[in-house]
Structure 1
Amino acid sequence: MPPTDASTDTDAGTDTDASADTDAGTAGEDTVDLRLPDELVALFSVDEPTETTDGDLLDSVAGWGPATTPVGTFQLVPVRIGRDLTLISRWMNDPAVAAFWELSGPETVTAGHLRAQLEGDGRSVPCLGVLDATPMSYFELYRADLDPLARHYPARPHDTGVHLLIGSVADRGRGVGTALLRAVADLVLDHRPRCTRVIAEPDLRNTPSVSAFLSAGFRFSAEVDLPEKRAALMVRDRVLRHLL
């Protein structure tokens, strides 16, 4: 789970960070290191026989399609290491990003982080955020209810978490992060009918990041003591999505 947030923004023009990660090579817990029994994974992934999915834990992110946002047409595209590694590694070596994600260094560092997700059980899906046909951000969608985070808050089945970094400095500080956070939360709620909440856990000290989530329709739920930080648990509720 991420200790803080990396490289998004608020509408007021302040560079901020949204739900970053420390998975590979850090002392904290991470999204992909908690091994659950196959029977439990199956219980969470197959609930209602009326639901049509491809059987994966996040309901086929690759097929979700584009979304129209105030900043352009946006789409989540699942990562392919051979195609995307150099770009994502370059973003991870941006000092503003590296301070939170802790994945700076040679491409092998980022490759290991990506491969752990791509070769895992599907509880975390790394994606490029493509805006108007240009890859410009990196997202991780993950099953928060199957993540170590679930030890620290009252998780519900199918809670879906989001981590985000904005790759280009030019896309920071002008409302892009807020727009994309809202778009991704809406995509999750549109395509994951069993998910009632989208979850994030920015560092409580990162006021601009918390503000970005609030502007994107999330609500502040609680302060949560995680192994590597005190976090603001942010929640976007399905029942409130058209009100916030």
Structure 2
Amino acid sequence: MPPADASADAGTAPVADIGTDTSPGAGENRTDTLVGLGQDNEDTLDLRLPDELLALIEDERTGSLAARARDDGMAPPAFGVSPADDLLDRVADWGPTTTPAGVFHLVPVRVERDLPLVSRWMNDPAVAAFWNLAGPPSITEEHLRAQFTADGRSVPCLGMLEGTPMSYWEIYRADLDPLARHYPARPHDTGIHVLTGGLADRGRGLGSALLRAVADLVLDRRSACARVVAEPDLRNIPSIAAFLGAGFRFSAEVDLPAKRAALMVRDRSLRHLL
């Protein structure tokens, strides 16, 4: 996922890492578009989600559509492999978490439902310059389905903040990804990529806050995972700063097929110190 700078000012535009291949190999083809740094606070928020979102979560948890299709001998549902089949300890079941900006929840993408929204985000000039997925919805659809038709090592998600979709995430098994060829991967290393969708959600200081929240979710829900990793472009100073603000440390410079990257690592053993 080769990065480049969308702007030198993290407060006014997203910061992105991109590649050119749209196959599931996250280390070579994903984009990190980060918003600005977040500010920590001690506010406690009430975890109340809209009924519609709770119903969606339950549907994803049970994988009822996928199971029904298998039982009937039908083709897999339009959105691809059930989230219950992933290799990431069921991202669909991770549940909500509190952030300084509100209640945040990762909800696995459904292509037939979410394609218009994700495709619109990919056609935003600030995102398109780095994800390289601008164009008709079929381009984004191919990118999403490549993950669903793989073996569950990468799960595309909508980031829901206070019940509203505002970001796109890919949670992936870095140890099973082409990225593992370029650094000393450990079993169950988990990678993250992110872009912020709407212009109104950029420049609000959400980057570090959401990155920290998602990294904490990974470490809380995946007991076998000792590290969360990311690989922003080495030139992408605002992106690296956001990861540092989220408790990641700079580990090394790595040469990936489409970029020279900063390997960022959040260690389980150091999570309460950084």
When the two structures are superposed, what TM-score results if normalisation uses the length of structure 2? 0.75
Q: Note if contact 1:20-1:163 (Cα within 8 Å) is conserved in structure 2.
A: no
Q: Are 1:4 and 2:32 counterparts?
A: no
Q: Output one character per residue of 1:69-115: Cα deviation in whole Å (capped at 9) or x when no partner.
A: 00010000000001100000000001111111100000000000000
Equivalent in the alignment of 1:109: 139
Higher gyration radius (CA) = 2
Which of 216, 236, 244 is 1:186 aligned to?
Answer: 216
CA distance in 2, matches of 1:92, 1:5: 15
Return closer, same or farther for 1:132/1:56 CA change in 2, 3 Å cut-off.
Answer: same
Amino acid at match of 1:60: R
Return closer, same or farther for 1:187/1:9 CA change in 2, 3 Å cut-off.
Answer: farther
Q: Secondary structure at the match of 1:208?
A: helix
Which of 223, 228, 231 is 1:198 aligned to?
Answer: 228
Q: Secondary structure at the match of 1:15?
A: coil
Aligned CA RMSD, in angstroms, stands at: 2.2
Q: Output one character per residue of 1:124-156: Cα deviation in whole Å (capped at 9) or x when no partner.
A: 000000000000000000000011100000000
Q: Secondary structure at the match of 1:99?
A: helix
Q: Secondary structure at the match of 1:194?
A: coil
Q: Are 1:92 and 2:91 counterparts?
A: no
CA distance in 2, matches of 1:217, 1:85: 32
CA distance in 1, matches of 2:224, 2:7: 28
Aligned-residue identity in percent: 71
Shift of 1:215: 0.3
CA distance in 1, matches of 2:229, 2:131: 18
CA distance in 1, matches of 2:5, 2:111: 21
| Unmatched tracts of structure 2, length 5 or more | 31-83
Q: Are 1:164 and 2:162 counterparts?
A: no
Q: Secondary structure at the match of 2:255?
A: strand
Say how many residue pairs are matched.
218
| Unmatched tracts of structure 1, length 5 or more | 32-53
